Amino acid sequence: MFAVVSGAGWSYETLSRRDDDRRHPAPGRSIDVGGHRLHLHCTGAAGGAPTVVFEAGLGESSTTWATLHQRLTAGTARVRACSYDRAGYAWSDPGPGRRDAGRLAEELHTLLDRAGERGPFVLVGHSFGGFVVRLFADRWPGETAGMVLVDVTDERGIGELEASAPIVRTQMTAFRFAARTGLVRLFPGLAVPADAPPAVRAHAAVVYRSTSMAAAADEAAASADSARLVQSTVRPGAWRTWPVVVISAAGQPREALDQHARLAALSSRGQHVVAAIDDHYVHYGQPELVLDAVRRTVDAGGAQRPHRR
C-alpha cells in the first residue's frame, strides 16, 4: 500500500510540475552565473541610495523576504532592492561543487555583476545567510555600504554545526520525499511556517520542492567549512565604519546574545538590537523592526561614495 500511494504521489507531482511555469511564475529573471542559472528579483528605482540585497537562511528562498522587499520599494522613496534564490532553491538551477558559503558569496557577486546591478550594497542576511553576506563584504568591501544581520548563525559553533549536519540532512531527506510525492503541494503547512509571508505559502510547491531540500542538505553538509571561512574574517575593525545592525531574537541564550553584540562591535557604527519576540524568523514576527534597521542602514550607507566597476 505504501508503494502504491507513494507511486501515485510521485506521478501526481511529476504531472503537476509541468504546469508550474504558469501557476508559479518566477517574479524575477534568470541569470547565467557560469554553467547554471540563478533567479534574481530586483525592484525599485536605482538612485543615490545603496541597493539592498536580501540573503535567505538555510532551506529558504527569495520569497522569505517578499513582504519586506515590497514595502521597502513601495512609494516615492528611491530605494532599489534585490532578492534571489541560491543554487538549487525555488527558481534557480542546482549548482556545482561543495556548497560552502565562500562559493555562495562568489555566485552572488557574479549574479549581481552579470545582472548589471551596481553597488555599493546594503547586505541583509538571516541565519545561515549571514555567513554569505559576511564573506561577500570581506571579499568586496568596495561594493559594501553596510549590513543588517538577522539572528545570524554563530561562526564559532563548528562542533555544533558538524553534529547537527547529519540531523539536518535527515530532515531534508524527509522533506524531499514529501515534496517529491506531492505532499507539500497538497498540504503546504507541512513546510511553511504559520507566520510566513503569503508569497511563501502561495509558491510552496516551488519554494519547498525536492531540489530546494537537496540544496539545503548540501549547504548543511558544508556548514562547518562555511563557519571556518567566516572565522577568518573576524578581526578588530573588520567592518570599518560601515553602518551595521545585528538583530537577535529574544529567545537566544545569553552566549548567543553576547556574540551578536561582539559582531556589532566590529564596526565603529555597529548596533545590536534585541527583538521583542523569541521567533528565529524575526522578519516574520517583527517585520517593522527589521524594515526600520534596513532603512536606517541604507540612509547611513548612502553617505559613502558609490562604487563603480
Parallel/antiparallel/unpaired status of strands 269-274 and 243-248: parallel
The owner of cell 524527509 is 174
Predicted pLDDT at 9:
66
> Which residues neighbour 166 within 8 Å (Cβ) at sequence distance 6 or greater?
none
Indicate which CATH number applies to the domain containing 88. Answer: 3.40.50.1820
Mean pLDDT of the chain: 90
Establish if 51 belongs to a structural domain: yes
The reported pTM is 0.91
pLDDT attached to residue 182: 80
Kindly state the helix (H) or strand (E) to which residue 42 belongs, with its residue range. strand 37-43
Answer yes or no: is 308 within a domain: no
Percentage of residues of the chain with pLDDT beyond 70: 93
pLDDT value at position 169?
83
pLDDT band at 307 (very low <50, low <70, confident <90, very high): very low
Q: Summarize pLDDT for 138-189 with one digit per residue, the tens.
A: 999 999 999 999 999 999 999 989 998 888 888 888 877 887 788 887 788 7
pLDDT digits 0-9 by tens, 36-61: 999 999 999 877 789 999 999 999 99
- CA–CA–CA angle 129, 288, 227 (5° rounding): 15
**8 Å CB contact between 247 and 220:** no
Residue 307 lies in a domain: no
Closest to 242 measured CA to CA, from 289, 307, 287:
307
For 246-297, the DSSP string reads EEE-TTS-HHHHHHHHHHHTTSTEEEEEE-SS--S-HHHH-HHHHHHHHHHH
- Residues 103-129 have a mean pLDDT of 97
Residue 269 lies in a domain: yes
Containing structural domain, residue 297: 2-301
**In a domain? residue 106:** yes
Percent of residues, the chain, with pLDDT higher than 90: 68
Higher pLDDT, 235 or 32: 32
Per-residue pLDDT tens digits for 229-271: 999 999 888 898 999 999 999 999 999 999 999 999 999 999 9
Flag whether 309 is in a domain.
no
306 found inside a domain: no
Based on the structure, what is the number of domains in the chain? 1
Q: Determine the average pLDDT of the residues in 191-216.
A: 89
Residue 246 included in any domain? yes
The pLDDT-based confidence of 108 (bands split at 50, 70, 90) is very high
What is the model's pLDDT at position 280?
95
